[in-house]
Amino acid sequence: MLFKYKGRFLSEIFPFLYIIRTWQKRFFRFIYWQFSTNKYANTFEDELLPYRYVKHSSKLLRMYSNDEREYKWQKNKVKNLKIAAKAIDRIVIKPGEVFSFCKLVGLPTSKKGYLEGMELSRGEARAGIGGGICQLANLITWMTWHTPLTIIERSHHSFDPFPDQGRILPFGSGAAIFWNYVDLQIKNTSKDEVFQIIIDFTETALKGEIRSTKRPIYSYKIIEKEHFFIQKNEHWYRSNEIWRSVFNRGVDCGPKYFVAEERLVKNFARVKYEPDPSEYIIKF
């Protein structure tokens, strides 16, 4: 439970309380891992599985200002991503198994080679060891939505720190990571299909694939609905919904037809910048 005094959280007044609470939550998650009935994926297969469900890529360097510190964070992020990717690349998720981002990657530390990158925490962008690896979780989340895999645990940032710069994916489609209790967990609920996550890099992009032992029966389309900015008193907020349409590929990859539609996410987050007037804006 979070307590406030004169409009501020106690952890803001006494920072050591935040540290204590963080390690308390980490301890509880560690105990959960030990006694959970989940079977966590920990098998890797060098050979690619035969069928590809989805592939996607995201730009590695994305500058929001001319700040030299931010440029350093972005460069360090690339190093952090490559270290984290080695812990995930070619992981296979067997029927009934659960993929855990935090369990596979572990705690980012300088001893492992992680550098200071930008992380989003408590409403602000700041430097942190291992900062930037959320981009890998974002990629995996987006690809998972294009497969029959089920996301059973996912968090997202409670604020929007920067205005869009060539955004391709809908706002709020990523996943926040904070070892070990803010995790991305994905379950393979199929009876006889194995999935494999592939991670790779080019000079400018983080790339990924999800492959399978079976030819895909369904295809998926992700769209954004009800996107708008809203002002309440002196603060701005951003809202949207992310939906998924499912299509049957048809017999022998013939004409596909619509099967179902579902809402995946409803986002509402504090905005840390002044929205563009051309966006959908509502003022209260």
Q: What pLDDT digit, counting tens, does each position of 149-185 carry?
A: 999 999 887 778 777 776 788 888 989 998 888 999 9
Domain boundary (216, 239, 257) is at: 216
Q: CA triplet 30, 31, 33: central angle to 5 degrees? A: 65
Most confident of 25-34, 47-56, 110-119, 120-129: 47-56
Q: The domain containing residue 23 runs over which residues?
A: 1-36
Starting at the earlier edge strand, list the strands of the sheet with 159-160: 159-160, 257-271, 235-248, 218-232, 281-283
Domain-embedded: residue 278: no
In this structure, what DSSP letter does residue 63 have? -
Same domain? For 70 and 179 the reply is yes
Domain-embedded: residue 140: yes
AA identity, residue 96? G
Whole-number Å distance between alpha carbons of 132 and 176: 10
Same domain? For 95 and 187 the reply is yes
Residue identified by tokens 């855990």 is: 100
Number of structural domains in the chain? 2
Please determine, for residue 143, whether its predicted confidence score (pLDDT) is greater than 80: yes
Domain boundary (216, 243, 272) is at: 216
Same domain? For 60 and 182 the reply is yes
| pLDDT for res 21 | 80
| pLDDT for res 70 | 75
Residue identified by tokens 């291992």 is: 130
Q: Rg (Cα) of the chain, in Å, rounded? A: 20
Whole-number Å distance between alpha carbons of 159 and 62: 18
Query: Could you tell me where the beta strands, DSSP code E, fall in 1-135?
Result: 4-5, 8-9, 39-40, 43-44, 51-59, 91-93, 97-100, 116-121, 124-129
Same domain? For 5 and 57 the reply is no
